[in-house]
Amino acid sequence: MRSEKATKGSKRAGHRSLFHALGFSPEDLQRPLIGIVNAFSEIVPGHAHLGELCQAAKLGVASAGGTPVEFPAIGVCDGIAMGHEGMKYSLPSRELVADSIEAMATGHAFDGLVLIPNCDKIVPGMLMAAARVNIPAVVVSGGPMQAGRHNGKDISLSALFEASGAFEAGLIDQAELSRLEQAACPGCGSCAGLFTANTMNCLAEALGMALPGNGTIPAAYSGARKMLAKAAGRVILDLVKKDLKPRDIMTLEAFKNAITVDMAIGGSTNTVLHLPAIAREAGLELPLELFDAISAQTPYITKLSPGGKHHMQDLNEAGGIAAVMRELAAKGLINEGLATVSGSVGERIKDAVNRNPDILRHADAPYRATGGIAIMRGNLAPDGGVVKESAVREDMLVFTGTAKVFDSEEAAVEAISRRAVSDGDVVVIRYEGPRGGTGMREMLSPTALITGMGLKVALLTDGRFSGATQGACIGHIGPEAMVGGPIALVRDGDAIAIDIPGRRLELKVSPEELEQRKAAWRAPEPKIKTGYLSRYARLVSDAKYGAALN
Say how far apart CA 88 and CA 540 lie, in whole Å: 13
Active site residue 466: yes
Burial, 156: exposed, middle or buried (Cβ in 10 Å; 0-12, 13-18, 19+)? buried
Which residue in 41, 190, 390, 466 is the catalytic one?
A: 466
Say how far apart CA 36 and CA 72 lie, in whole Å: 8
Q: Give the list of residues 6+ apart from residue 512 with CB closer than 8 angstroms, or none.
A: none
CA 492, 495, 501 angle in degrees (round to 5)? 130
| 547, 269 contact by CB (below 8 A) | no
CA 100, 254, 331 angle in degrees (round to 5)? 150
Q: Strands 425-429 and 504-507: what pairing?
A: unpaired
Instruction: Indicate left, alpha or beta for 481 from its phi (over 0: left) and psi (-120 to 50: alpha).
Output: alpha
Say how far apart CA 37 and CA 71 lie, in whole Å: 5
Q: Give the list of residues 6+ apart from residue 353 with CB closer than 8 angstroms, or none.
A: 319, 323, 326
517 phi/psi in degrees, rounded to 5: -65, -40
Say how far apart CA 541 and CA 544 lie, in whole Å: 8
Q: Strands 148-150 and 153-155: what pairing?
A: antiparallel
Q: How many CB atoms lie within 10 A of CB 99?
A: 15
* Closest CA relative to residue 123, chosen from 113, 131, 115: 115
* Closest CA relative to residue 191, chosen from 235, 156, 239: 156
Say how far apart CA 142 and CA 117 lie, in whole Å: 7
Say how far apart CA 41 and CA 122 lie, in whole Å: 12
Crossing angle, helix 320-329 and helix 196-207, to 10 degrees? 60
DSSP assignments along 217-239, one per residue: S-TT-HHHHHHHHHHHHHHHHHH
CA 237, 241, 242 angle in degrees (round to 5)? 120
| DSSP 8-state code for residue 111 | S
The identity of residue 124, as a single letter, is P
Q: How many CB atoms lie within 10 A of CB 389?
A: 25
| 94, 128 contact by CB (below 8 A) | yes
Partners of residue 519 on adjacent β-strands: none
Burial, 22: exposed, middle or buried (Cβ in 10 Å; 0-12, 13-18, 19+)? exposed
**Catalytic machinery residues:** 466
